[in-house]
Amino acid sequence: MGKEKVTIYTIAEELNMTPSMVSRAFKPDGKVNEKKRQLILETAERMGFEQNRMASRLSMKPIRIATLIYGRFPGYYDEMVRGVEAASRDLSDYKVTNRLFVMPFGEYSQEDAYRVLDEVEADKYDGLVLHGLYGEDVAQRIDRLTDAGVVVCTLHNDILSCRRLFTSMSDTELTGSMAAQLLSIFLPPNRNRMVLFSGSMKSMVHQTLSFSFIRHAEERGMTLLRHYATEDYPERAAEQVRDAFETYSGIDGIYISSANSAPILRYLEENRLGDRVAVVASDVFQELSAYMRKGIVNATIYQDPYRQGKRAFEGLFYYIADGIKPNSYLMTPPQIVMTSNLSVYERWKNDD
Amino acid sequence: MGKEKVTIYTIAEELNMTPSMVSRAFKPDGKVNEKKRQLILETAERMGFEQNRMASRLSMKPIRIATLIYGRFPGYYDEMVRGVEAASRDLSDYKVTNRLFVMPFGEYSQEDAYRVLDEVEADKYDGLVLHGLYGEDVAQRIDRLTDAGVVVCTLHNDILSCRRLFTSMSDTELTGSMAAQLLSIFLPPNRNRMVLFSGSMKSMVHQTLSFSFIRHAEERGMTLLRHYATEDYPERAAEQVRDAFETYSGIDGIYISSANSAPILRYLEENRLGDRVAVVASDVFQELSAYMRKGIVNATIYQDPYRQGKRAFEGLFYYIADGIKPNSYLMTPPQIVMTSNLSVYERWKNDD
DNA sequence: TTGTATGCGTTATCAC
DNA sequence: GTGATAACGCATACAA
């Protein structure tokens, strides 16, 4: 079994060619006689050659990626940032670097964010991970970046009709279905009237999520009393939950499909509705943890922002470095969290 | 911000030394004047030097790791193997190779497995991932391997009182607690009598798992009628489930903490107990999937054997390559699976 | 199109 | 201890 390591030298020797010849044969645009290329590729295959991407990248110029996070909920986008940074660290030996711009929604204006895009374009970065920017303007900017040679991927949200390479997001269709099943489990026997609090209907993510939930909830025989779009504004959510309980007498369950759950849960606590109403929430952050432990929230659906961020950066790198085109959507499966496994997801306590 | 890449050359130049000097300063046993070493380390820190492990590994000799899987349930150990292979692939650029020995329990004897250990020792592998071997003999063999310079980690199960470096396994304490909560949720109202079917009590894994479950179940007010240890034998499980329902009249719930669930579920189906008895099972494999879809199983706890395998190999590599000592236990958190998210875990359908 | 020479960042070897 | 020099495996500018 004494199989020697097979390199481009081994192959070159076997074929009486030079190593550079072999090297070039693997680059799609390398200048090589097509016949020889075929020959090289075949014998490489036969000899069990495996490119050492390490040595390869070592002799190539560094890859520069920028990450712009225009985030709403710190507990959420912090995790995405951690994921991006983890990927960047894991791949740093391949000479990729990440330039990170974290701009919380309240502290920075949209103009500030656009200025970063300018910089990314001017500095000719190789790739961009983009989160939290929406709308037609952004679509155009992304196309401009793409034309300038910057590969763009969006994180957590997609931006339609533009030439971003892919989107790394949570599987919203799946999330809706899981939420429906969870809520149906926690609903009191023979009771099935519930309310949905979602994010903004201008966002694709929340659209598909809401749609999926409603569909699956109906399949399970639940009745949707009302769908409130909180638009990610806490005050809005506070008003709406009050409205809900004033308008409808028998609310048995609530699904909060965005991270904007605190005002709603506070209302439930203050009005001692905790064990009368089944609640399924989204994500895991400090405030929510507390409500879970108090028994206000029965379960929550963790969207794994860490993994979303990680996969975004990785996808970008593998495309830029190796030309491996990822699927248009990298869907990260969400996970079910209840009190028994809550500690696993309280990342601010762990240090892994 | 035009920070040049800082390499050992940059540092050497700064200090009027040679690159070799700098390189040696980072190796604990490198021959360097202690004062100079300090100086080098400090300026490296100051200049923001980051070792390129890629270039480093490139000039070092390959690392050889062997993986021995003496597995019981194909659906389970196949996933572990996939995880090990994924890690091996991801790290292959660092010149690590994996020699894989998969020996199904029925087809191979313990002697066959021991022979592999001999080979690993004789061939002076750098590391070994070991799964499915138990007992005092193995402990001694592991110590011998360790003395011979082979770093050993165990996968899925620990082996006590031996000098294995670490164990990669699922978090059994957590699993027990999750199982208890899940079962309590699915139990019919005001009913709480349940039975536990576990693996062998000779195995640490199943001991702590059972113990954790029983403790948490009691905390939640459930009554354990009986604890059967199926010893991983299907026939045994079949007998025991019959015995259980003949002996106890009001069984409300069942937790099956091992992968040996098929005979039990078949019994439930044949006797139309599906919607009278709440069932929480373990892992995800084809047969179980079917029972979930039929409504016999309410939920299952996925132990993520893929990740367990991946982390085992990675841990070994990082220790051998960089001397980074992992925790004694790498605990992989289990995940909750119900019909709505079942498809995510049906790996035999997916090809990621 | 093909070959040569050089570089990528680090370690190992072997003189000094 | 210290300093040259040759690897490691591959890509590429440049010459042929």
What DSSP letter does each residue of B5-65 carry, written as one string? PP-HHHHHHHHT--HHHHHHHTSTT----HHHHHHHHHHHHHHT----HHHHHHTS--EEE
pLDDT of residue A55: 93
Q: Is the model's pLDDT at B175 over the cut of 90?
A: yes
> Residue A341: which of B180, B251, B2 has the closest Cα?
B180
Selected residue with higher pLDDT from A29 and A168: A168
| Contact (Cβ atoms closer than 8 angstroms) between residue B66 and residue B129 | yes
Residue A2 lies in a domain: no
Q: Are residues B79 and B210 in the same domain?
A: no
What distance in Å separates the CA atoms of residue A121 and residue A137, rounded to the nearest whole number? 15
Q: Which of B302, B322, B340 is the last residue of a domain?
A: B302
Interchain CB distance below 8 Å, B54 and A50: no
Nearest amino-acid residue to C13, taking CA and C1': B20
Torsion, Cα A220 A222 A226 A232, to 10 degrees, reads -50
Q: How confident is the model at residue B2 (pLDDT cuts 50, 70, 90)?
A: very low
Alpha-carbon span A287 to B327, nearest angstrom: 30
Q: Which residues contact B138 (CB under 8 A, 6 or more apart)?
A: B159, B162
Q: What is the pLDDT of residues B134-172, one digit of tens each?
A: 888 999 999 999 999 999 999 999 999 999 999 999 999
DSSP states of A12-60 = HHHHT--HHHHHHHTSTT----HHHHHHHHHHHHHHT----HHHHHHTS
B99-142: pLDDT as tens digits: 999 999 999 999 999 999 999 999 999 999 999 998 889 999 99
Amino acid at B335: Q
Beta-strand relationship, B299-302 and B278-282: parallel
Name the residue facing B58 among A54, A335, A344 (closest C-beta). A54
Residues B229 and B159 in one domain: no
Tell me the three state secondary structure of residue A154.
Answer: strand
Q: Are A57 and A162 members of one domain?
A: yes
Report if residue B227 sits inside a domain.
yes
Pick the more confident residue, B349 or A64.
A64
What mean pLDDT is predicted for residues B20-36? 90
Domain annotation covers residue A150: yes
Mean pLDDT of chain A: 94
Please give residues of chain A from 14 to 43 whose alpha-adjacent beta carbon (CB) lies under 7 Å from any atom of strand C.
17-21, 24, 31-34, 36
Same domain for B161 and B309, yes or no, is: yes
pLDDT at B352 over 60: no
Quick one: B161 and B258 in the same domain? no
Res. A2 pLDDT band, cuts 50 70 90: very low
Q: What is the pTM of this model?
A: 0.94
Q: What is the pLDDT of residues A148-167, one digit of tens each?
A: 999 999 999 999 999 999 99
The set of residues, in sequence order, having a beta carbon less than 8 Å from that of A38 and lying 6+ positions away, is: none
- Name B337's Cβ contacts closer than 8 Å, sequence gap at least 6: B284, B292, B299, B300, B301, B302, B344, B345
Across the interface, whether the CB atoms of A55 and B58 are under 8 A apart is answered yes
User: Can you give the pLDDT at residue A350?
Assistant: 64
B219-254, pLDDT tens digit by residue? 999 999 999 999 989 999 999 999 999 999 889 999
Do A88 and A153 share a structural domain?
Answer: yes
pLDDT digits (tens, 9 = 90+) for A232-286: 899 999 999 999 999 998 899 999 999 999 999 999 999 999 889 999 999 999 9
Which of A174, A324, A336, A346 to mutate against chain B (most B CBs within 10 Å)? A336
pLDDT beyond 80 at B15: yes
* Confidence category of residue A32, pLDDT binned at 50, 70, 90: confident
pLDDT for the residue A352: 53
How many Å apart are A22 CA and C5 C1'? 17
Are B247 and B111 in the same domain? no
Q: In percent, how much of chain A has pLDDT > 70?
A: 98
**Nucleotide in closest CA–C1' contact with A52:** D9
Q: In which domain, by residue range, is A252 found? A: 172-302
Summarize the confidence of residues A301-307 as an average pLDDT: 97
Q: Which whole-number Å values give the CA distances from B147 to B121, B126, B140, B141, B164, in the listed order?
A: 10, 12, 11, 10, 11
Give the chain A residue whose CA is nearest to the CA of B52: A93
CATH number for the domain spanning A151: value is 3.40.50.2300
* Residue B199 and residue B109 share a domain: no
